[in-house]
Amino acid sequence: MSLFTNNQLKRVSNIFDNAGQVVLGSVVIGPFFDSQNFNDTNLFLLAGTFLTFFLWWVSLRIERISSR
C-alpha cells in the first residue's frame, strides 16, 4: 500500500521539475546576464548544473514510480 496516491506523486514530480527549471534559470543562466562578476561564477555554474540535473532526475524517478 502506497503512502501517496498516483496523482499526488505526479504533483510532487511536477514540483521537482519546476524547481529544476528555477535553478537552471537563476543559478546557471542568470550569471551570464551579470557580466561584472563573471570570473567568480564557475562554482555557481557547476553547482547549479548539478542541482538542476539532480532535481530533474528525482522528478523522473517519482514519475516512473507513479506510473506503475
Q: How confident is the model at residue 47 (pLDDT cuts 50, 70, 90)?
A: confident
DSSP category for residue 67: T
CA–CA separation, 2 and 10 (whole Å): 14
Q: Report the distance separating Cα 9 and Cα 29, nearest Å.
A: 29
Q: Which residue has the cell 546557471?
A: 28
> Which residue did the predictor score with more confidence, 1 or 45?
45
Length of the chain: 68
For the segment 6-33, what is each residue's pLDDT rounded down to a tens digit? 999 999 999 999 999 999 998 888 777 7
Q: At residue 67, does pLDDT exceed 70? A: yes
pTM of the model as a whole: 0.83
| The pLDDT value given to residue 30 | 78
